[in-house]
A and B are shown apart, each in its own frame.
Chain A
Amino acid sequence: MQPPTGPALASAPESSAGAAPGSQLLRWQWREVQAPCLVAGWILVASLAKIVFQLSRKVTSVVPESCLLILLGLGLGGIVLAIAKRAEYQLEPSLFFLFLLPPIVLDSGYFMPSRLFFDNLGAILTYAVIGTLWNSFTTGAALWGVKQAGLMDKGVEAGLMDFLLFGSLISAVDPVAVLAVFEEVHINETLFIIVFGESLLNDAVTVVLYKVFNSFVEMGPVHVQATDYLKGVASFFVVSLGGAAVGLLFAFLLALITRFTKRVRIIEPLFVFLLAYMAYLAAEMVSLSSILAVTFCGICCKKYVEANISRKSRTTVKYTMKTLASSSETVIFMFLGISAVDTSKWAWDTALVLGTLLFILLFRAVGVILQTWVLNCFRLTPLDRIDQVVMSYGGLRGAVAFALVILLDGAKVRAKDYFVATTIVVVFFTVLVQGLTIKPLVKWLKVKRSDHHKPTLNEELHEHAFDHILAAVEDVVGHHGYRYWRDKWEQFDKRYLSQLLMRKSAYRLKDEIWDVYCKLNIRDAISFVDQGGHVLSASRLTLPSMPRRTSLSESSVTNLLRESGSGACLDLQVIDTVRSRRDKEDAVMHHMLCGSLYKPRRRYKASYSRHFISPSTQERQDKEIFQQNMKRRLETFKSTKHNVCSAKSKARLKKDGRKKQKKSVANTELPNGKPPRSVTWQQKAAAVLVAVDSDNEESDSSETEKEDDEGIIFIARAADEILQGKKASGGIRNKSLGTQLLRLAAWTSAQAHASSPLRPPQPRRTCPGRVTGATSLFTSPQKPPKLCQSTCKPRGSKASPRWRVSPHPPGLSQAHVPRRWLAQRRRKGSSRRDR
């Protein structure tokens, strides 16, 4: 064995060093490690090649990676051939079908945009079933015609059945090749899903045709009876529906299993891969369509699995799946190149090769045009000419065809060598020539590209509204169309399936709009932290003594954030404009301190567990900073949202801030300058109330208009920061106080909400009624003492155990700040109202 894979060779001796018997210090154990070593080596070579390709942007923007990999494979194969004098390696069908193909199919099934897929299922199925049947029969028959016409070499000993067999394996569009090429082209989603969905779903047809014709060839055409044809037709339904059923079954199992993995988070991602692989193997075992099984398993389980597993597991699943699929794809294309070098299997016949190339292109185009013509009578959005051109040109053949042709029995199918050569040429032609030219073609034809925009909340809302409107219209007219059934399915899913397959905690919060909202919130928060990290960190922030300080004006942070493109950041200006400069300095200093001065309380647990990942200190710190930022943001967001961009907020709040500043000097230091740990809770509670009172006094006396927001912001912030501070200082005994303060804050803001709907969103300059708005609600004579009481209730009292419930609602991950925080706050708010 003399593989050209340096790394594999180099690592071999080391791995054997430990197992040296008595007299020998080292023993050469290449044989033992040969197989895994070769596998690892090849993957390494392919991955390194990818790095090299990506070095040059110019090349990769023109040439698809699959082409480069095939060429690399050709080169490597040539080297191996030159050294070993015979081709050592080639794409083994069993290896391909059992190990290389499943990850790619799983990846594409799992990340398939299911809505788009099911919306276009009719078209996809038509192209996959009828199109593939049409292609294989016409190609096979036409080739047979060429043979009959005497244009082919005498050596091609093949009858009609052989040609039909060949036609069946050569006509199927290959998912691997399509994915590899189309991913770089970025055509619009509908077109992509049709071509790609076809390539996935045609597997059933290909498998059936291949098996049926293979058995016909083996039996000999003479012995084929009418019942065999019927069996072939029947087996199509069995294979396709059976494959899909296996997939659904395993998807169900998988979803059910992940419902109960709460305590074994670390192996959670494994279930996804194992069950999907089992689905593949199970389908393969009973000779059903394994690709269909995995595809449907992936599509159907995703919703429930994603809801059940933790966020980290989700990331793990995603990355592992992508890594596996990408490396399989790389290896497949490289080995396609390497296998082509093996000339011993080649038998060239020009007529066969050219005929096949011509026919697959021609018949695919004809088939697409015919089917589209029929389909357009039914589709809502007709596929136009350009779409048809792309679809017919995008019918790439790939490794599946190659593996199938290698699997042919040379003794039975005498023209196997010719078929192998033709297949290799076809695969190379489609991947290299069509893959290279499809990008310029798409550009030239001005095919509608996909627009990569992030999902917006409005879009999601409107889409749901549309769905409901359409379902309603179908109901009104009494027409049971696609939307009617989708609506029914969604109801069924909500009522039974989701309840069965999702964790309670996950199910409760499962709503698409809510999901998008949370995602957007997190995205904004992350971008805020990214940017805000600068704002709050020393690099961005000059020390108070420096003159540059003044340049950090109110709008700068907001502008910074706006430039970063975060959508819901508008409210952020409130953070910045709320305070006077001095006040802000304090706040900034406070945050700086609070962000970096809290380490000592951490105690390292010297424990290591294989089953649980303990977050590292850095990570925890990051998370906490993130949480604090997020909390602050959300809180401002919540309490100022009634007046989106209040015109007056700036000036008013500034005054307010200064006022608070004074107050805070008076009673310890208040809202922003966080008090030292020694401050007792009475002081703080008093401070909060005093501050509120002072707000009120001032508003009564001097201000013409007064919005209730400030007080609420103020309380909420104060309470929150206190809570945060207490939590941070590790004082569990103070938690109930903090929670109570938070409760107070939540209650006051709830009051504000209760009063806010009456107010038009735009602020009014003078509004006499406003003075006695919500502000008076909690500063009225009776209320404050009551609140104060409840806030200051001693720890032993009845209520406090109730409030001391862990601040994290069950099932929500720690890092899921917005949701968690909202839930927490909501709970406090509602409980308070109950009383």
Chain B
Amino acid sequence: MAAWQFLAIHYCFRHHNPEIIFKESFDRIPDLEFNPIRSKIVRAFFDKRNLRQAPNGLADEINFEDFLTIMSYFRPIEMNMDEEQLDHFRKEKLKFLFHMYDSDNDGKISLLEYRKVVEELLSRNPHLEKESARSIADGAMMEAASICVGQMEPDQVYEGITFEDFLKMWQGIDIDTKMHVRFLNMEPIAHCH
């Protein structure tokens, strides 16, 4: 992150709250209101796994360093990164998404968790009922099972998507453009005034 971006974000951060952010501060952001998976995203900001803190669970508040840690998940790739770094980078980004899905911290996205996510994703469409969201989640789960396990024995059980499976599903899919934010101009500062 360039220095001025850092400053800009810092400025914004200060504006939101002098020292630390509580969950409630996110409620005050008007644009966020329409986001269907708002609660999940806000949660991700306070998730200790994302904050790289040892115990699992939710933090009550985050300070500026934590905020930057979260922001660092959205760094764009640099030109001079080698393969290993890129791979690590990619994994980090996917981990963020994975943690968002895996709400009970057990390292697996269970069917129920997946259903919740899909329901929330579809919640902006009033015409799709929960039932269809559910069947979509189920279909996705089955697809995941078929991708990750392949040929399953009749009595085999697929318990949930582990992170390894998650990576497997993302194999071959280009996420280079999908998980980046580039703060191009000094607009944040203007906005924060």
A-to-B contact residues, CB < 8 Å: 119, 188, 190, 376, 378, 380-382, 384, 451, 453, 456-459, 461-466, 468-481, 483-484, 487, 491, 494, 507-511, 513-514, 517, 520-521, 554-555, 558-559, 562, 567-571, 573, 577, 637-638, 641-642, 644-650, 753, 757, 760-763, 822, 826, 829-830
Contact = CB atoms under 8 A, between A and B. Distances in A.
Contacts of A463: 178
A582 to B, nearest CB: 19
A513 B131 contact: no
Contacts of A638: 135
A473 B71 contact: yes
Interface string B132-153: 1011101111111111000110
22 contacts: A380-B180, A381-B177, A457-B139, A458-B147, A461-B140, A465-B117, A469-B41, A470-B179, A476-B45, A477-B181, A477-B188, A481-B184, A483-B181, A491-B34, A507-B127, A514-B128, A514-B132, A562-B151, A567-B147, A645-B152, A762-B157, A762-B159
A604 B175 CA distance: 55
A761 B159 contact: yes
A478 B135 contact: no
B142 A761 contact: no
B122 A570 contact: no
Contacts of B100: 465, 469
Contacts, number: 213
By Cβ-Cβ distance, the 9 closest A-B pairs, closest first, are A475-B31, A641-B138, A508-B127, A478-B191, A457-B140, A761-B111, A567-B143, A472-B41, A647-B155
A119 B180 CA distance: 13
Given A464-B121, A465-B121, A476 B32 contact: yes
Contacts of A491: 34
A119 B177 contact: yes
Contacts of A509: 127-128
Interface string B61-88: 0000000000100101101000000000
B121 A644 contact: no
A520 B146 CA distance: 14
B129 A826 contact: yes
A478 B37 contact: no
Contacts of A483: 181
Contacts of B37: 465, 468-469, 472
B125 A378 contact: no
Contact of A461 (B118, B124, B129): B118
B183 A479 contact: yes
B174 to A, nearest CB: 8
Contact of B183 (A456, A477, A763): A477
Nearest to A453: B172
Q: Chain B CB within 10 Å — which of A188, A517, A760, A829 has the most?
A: A517
Interface of B: 9, 12, 26, 29, 31-32, 34-38, 41, 44-45, 71, 74, 76-77, 79, 97, 100, 110-112, 115, 117-118, 121-122, 124-125, 127-129, 131-132, 134-136, 138-147, 151-152, 154-160, 169-170, 172-184, 187-188, 191-192
Given A465-B97, A477-B9, A508-B127, A520 B139 contact: yes
B9 to A, nearest CB: 6
Given A511-B122, A567-B146, A650 B154 contact: yes
B12 A477 contact: yes
Contact of B12 (A381, A478, A554): A478
A454 to B, nearest CB: 11
B188 A479 contact: yes
A834 B148 CA distance: 41
Contacts of B179: 466, 469-470
Contacts of A753: 131, 134
Contact of A380 (B154, B159, B170, B182): B182
Nearest to A761: B111
Nearest to B111: A761
A641 B176 CA distance: 34
Contact of A462 (B97, B115, B128, B156): B97
Nearest to A468: B37
B97 A466 contact: yes
A458 B169 contact: yes
A645 B152 CA distance: 8
A474 B178 contact: no
Contacts of B143: 456-458, 520, 567-568
A470 B135 contact: no
B94 to A, nearest CB: 9
B41 A468 contact: yes
B136 A514 contact: yes
B187 A480 contact: yes
A464 B32 CA distance: 16
Contacts of A188: 174
Contacts of A645: 145, 152, 154-158
A457 B127 CA distance: 20
Nearest to A829: B131
Given A468-B121, A570-B146, A473 B74 contact: yes
Contacts of A468: 35-37, 41, 121
A479 B36 contact: no
Contact of B32 (A380, A475, A568, A570): A475
Contacts of A568: 139, 142-143, 146
B146 A555 contact: no
